[in-house]
Homo-oligomer: A and B are copies of this chain.
Amino acid sequence: MGCPQELVSYIREADDYCIAVHVFPDGDAIGAALALFLGLTAMGKRAAVYSKDLIPQMFDNLPAVENFKPITALNEVDTTNATLIIVDCNSPERAGLPEHAGLKAPSFKKTLVIDHHVTETNFGDIRWVIPDYPATGLMIYFLLKSLDIPITTDIAINVYTSLAVDTGTFRFSNTTPEALFVASELIKAGVKPVAVADRLYNSWSEARFLLLKNMLSSLEIHNRLAITVITQDMLKDTGANLEDTDNFVNFPIMINSVAVSALFKEVDTDKWKVSLRSRGEVDVSGIAQRFGGGGHRNAAGFRINGSLPNTKQTLIKSFS
């Protein structure tokens, strides 16, 4: 894949960079930002990486991850000669920039956007956005190649982590020939796929695993609808928290007779956040919208108030 020449030329010239990821950063944002950070510093540039939210523990060992600073630290440096690059997002809100936290807005020489999400705004002096591209990390890989930066093992591990997270280690429909070809090159550059997979899939806390076990105990199947529940009591009993439920809603979809999985998460007494996942052609975005929520065909959600038995019944009826 080719990169915009304007972007490549700009980065060859400018010397000082602040890289920011989106709020609640995932492995694609983090891996992409760190690969870019490592590439820019290898070119002799000044660069720093910022995140509004904490880096999840599973990414603690990524090369160069120790360089992340809280985004509020931008208020303590002179950024007037620096270039802001936001990665894996394309608006200042989504990047959690300080002015959105009530602090002063840092001013930058220029702002660049590198992202694979659908565009929300036209923020950025140079925008490189490819909606539905497999991973932002893959765009960074091609950018570094265009800049003639050698792909070190440390860069490769970060890019591979991006790719692995956003393609579900090559299981999702965004697994393109290009994604697999680059993955192949990254292994030649020193990535150990089993180490990446272990970090992503086999580094659960015991509390999280116990929460999954408890959630599965709540499983009910009504026709092709699977319902599971996470209550505040379960969180207390296991010592886990709601962030630990990431991906839990996908487990019941493993069952071949289940078309839709609904996970009820108790955010407060009788207040529920419901995540919906569906298989293939089955659309759950319409149902989520009917309850005032939203989302995509295969992943949507909404909030609902009421007792658990009543809210469950309401959802079950909406499917019949």
Which chain A residues have a beta carbon within 8 Å of chain B's beta carbons? Answer: 168-173, 175-181, 183-185, 187-188, 192-194, 197-198, 201-206, 209-210, 212-213, 216-217, 219, 221, 252-258, 279-280
Contacts and interface: CB of A to CB of B under 8 A. Distances in A.
Contacts of A216: 212-213, 216
A212 B168 CA distance: 22
A192 B174 CA distance: 10
A206 B257 contact: yes
A254 B202 contact: yes
Interface secondary structure of A, over-half rule: helix
Which among A179, A187, A201 has the highest number of chain B CB atoms within 10 Å?
A187
Contact of A255 (B175, B184, B192, B209): B209
Contacts of A202: 253-254, 256, 279
A95 to B, nearest CB: 30
Number of copies: 2
A256 B183 contact: no
B194 A187 contact: no
A255 B170 CA distance: 23
Contact of A256 (B170, B178, B203, B255): B203
Given A176-B187, A177-B184, A171 B206 contact: no
Given A181-B181, A204-B256, 8 more contacts: A169-B171, A170-B170, A170-B193, A171-B194, A176-B187, A205-B255, A210-B219, A217-B217
